[in-house]
Structure 1
């Protein structure tokens, strides 16, 4: 009996996981909608383009959980402002998919693979008539585009780059050098620099700065630390250089962002 019904059991379990994922996503989207509603009718809430930038950064740094959180916030705004219109949500979904496509290609993914993923999503989009299903498909696309930036790399380098990124995430606040990370993954620094850029779409220094700026944004938003203290905490030794890099990635100075 077990062998006869094992496939059915497996399918049911998988469907249960999917349903739980959909419920979790909808609860987060509803939280976002309630947040925008709390602003009141008198306050005009504009589309949060800065969150699109954050979404790209999270995808490029392979931070899927936070990317999903930002996506749900964006979807909450679209549903809030569009009155749950399927047509409006589909239009925004196409735009977001294009955005994710560009981010993945800039991140080093193979262009032909990304175009196939994009086309597949657009084809599926035509057959979706349920808001929850559409939101969930977009969430899946975040995972697919993020993974695509690493899957095309030869397997021997794939694991090494993941290890390098993990090392950077753990040590970004220190005076981290390319040579140190290359040594950790046992690669020649010059070769490591080439492979890293191929896999991440950014140079080692650009990627390190991106990670540091992401952490500084969290500190600026959630603490009262001074700008110089935050700069030092995330690995910058010079406040003016920190401010320059911060503005490059966000379009704002640290004080304006706060």
Structure 2
């Protein structure tokens, strides 16, 4: 009886989040198949063969499926109770919604640009190879942006190109740039020792730390999307000391 109670308590605990539900489902299916094969002497040989193959291949299929879930949909594998506070869960949901909206807007803009380029180049009667190269260049410009740290680091190779979709938030971008500058600046010093300036507009990208006058050296997450702060595909962000 205690074993049944223990199993029930474990099952109840696993059912609290998607990962646990998947694990419980896998255990039950595999367990029933193993019990059927091991404790049913009436099974004929031809009836046992599919069960044996199932027991052999099922773990491999589960591993492949779980790997795909973790790599493609990891944010959906957690329940609200897995987060330390409700605010963190809500912030994560807001980030995902904003990212999806930005991704959709970027796709629509990219489709429009490609159609515009193809129509323009077709009228010029260029060779297909030249059209393909021009389209590839425009696609790259429409999906990436540049961080230029040459003057700040004093290195001619300090130019970094990133896909616009690589960063969910401004905080993720500043963290990435910090790691490129880590030998020259200290952690959590954005706005104090370095900033990013949008070369096309001349505006400094102001993080939440700067807007709230939070002292340097303290972690502060900025969950705004790149589009919200004025960073768009094709932009060049220059790393430089903060303006006086």
Q: TM-score, normalised by structure 1?
A: 0.27
Q: Which has the larger radius of gyration?
A: 2
Structure with the greater relative contact order (CA < 8 A, sep ≥ 6): 1 or 2?
Answer: 2
- Return the structure number with greater helix share: 1
Q: TM-score, normalised by structure 2?
A: 0.28
